[in-house]
Amino acid sequence: MSSAQGISNGNVGDDQGVRDPTTGLVFFELSHEFGHYTPVLPGLKDIQIRRVATHAMHGVLTSHLVTVMHNGTHVNAPLHLAQRGLGVGEIPLDFFFTNGVVVRITKGEWQYIEPADLEAATPSIQKGDVVVINTGWHQGYSDSMEYFGHSPGLSAAAARWLIEREVKMVAIDTASIDHPLATSLAQRHRFIGPHVVELPRRYKKRTGHEVTEDFLDWMPAHRLLAEAGIPTIENVGGGVDGVTGRRCTFHAMPWYWPQGDACIVRFVAILDASGDYRIEKGN
């Protein structure tokens, strides 16, 4: 593959992608930008980045980072919610460089993604796919209660549907695979939550119901997928609209961290219009 100098210019998140002039491969950024002001999941500490060496003083730039790995575009390992599940560094490498599909399932505030939505999605979801779900919610990615607390999420039935199809990984353009009102954002689970105390109040004001009456299980989609050994990616963004409705090859390598519960990733979709691209044989 050509060096970075040989790759044509393209904006991060560009729906048209970035084309390599040598191979013809087109790369699409599916990540949100990461940095000082990355929106942080409510309940987690803010990301801390400081420079420990600068060009002016030391002739080199070095940064120190403190963060929970469940910020920005990140992969959740089965270990996150399944005791004795695989950590990020134990998941087979082929899970993170493989084929799949990006499907549009447009959903609004507090709606569920159901099996019927997945069944009707195009292109069709196949066994062994990485499944990227574009709800349209990535367009509102920000430090806001609406993005984190009002988004749609997978129902338990939808998670079971994906498990039955033996998909390899599930990604979504919201902050959580689960419906936010079924998480610690809106309800108490053991010793944590609710992290956004206004959410259950809003829900009761609009519906007359308590969150805990309508959302009986805590993070059911997360847990079902984790127990089935299926990793998940949250906060998909960038140029995901440019590959929606298409089959793609995906790349999203996490750190080699055997007991890691999650890891920030650079999530990329790759297209090859010619179908001629081959990687090196290793000779």
| Backbone torsions φ then ψ of 54, nearest 5 degrees | -125, 160
Q: What confidence score (pLDDT) does residue 152 get? A: 98
Of 153, 159, 152, residue with least CA distance to 115 = 159
Q: What confidence score (pLDDT) does residue 277 get? A: 75
Query: Does residue 199 come out as left (phi exceeding 0), alpha (psi in the -120 to 50 range) or beta?
Result: alpha
The rounded distance, in Å, linking the Cα atoms of 72 and 235 is: 6
Q: What residues pair up with 103 in beta bridges, in sequence order?
A: 133
- Integer angstrom CA distances of residue 209 from 145, 153, 246, 282: 20, 19, 40, 61
For 156-171, letters b (16+ CB in 10 Å) and e give: bbbbbbbbebebbbbb
- What is the dihedral angle through the alpha carbons of 95, 24, 276, 166, rounded to the nearest 10 degrees? 20
Hey, how many other C-beta atoms are within 10 angstroms of the C-beta on 93? 9
**Quick check: 26 and 19 in contact, CB under 8 A?**
yes
Q: What confidence score (pLDDT) does residue 266 get? A: 98
Q: What confidence score (pLDDT) does residue 215 get? A: 96
Q: What confidence score (pLDDT) does residue 260 get? A: 98
Angle between helices 220-227 and 156-164 (to 10 degrees): 20
Q: What confidence score (pLDDT) does residue 142 get? A: 97
Query: What is the chain's pLDDT, residue by residue, as a tens digit (283 residues)?
Result: 333 333 333 344 578 899 999 888 999 999 999 999 999 999 999 999 999 999 999 999 999 999 999 999 999 999 999 999 999 999 999 999 999 999 999 999 999 999 999 999 999 999 999 999 999 999 999 999 999 999 999 999 999 999 999 999 999 999 999 999 999 999 998 888 899 999 999 999 999 999 999 999 999 999 999 999 999 999 999 999 999 999 999 999 999 999 999 999 999 999 998 888 767 778 8
**Quick check: 267 and 248 in contact, CB under 8 A?**
no
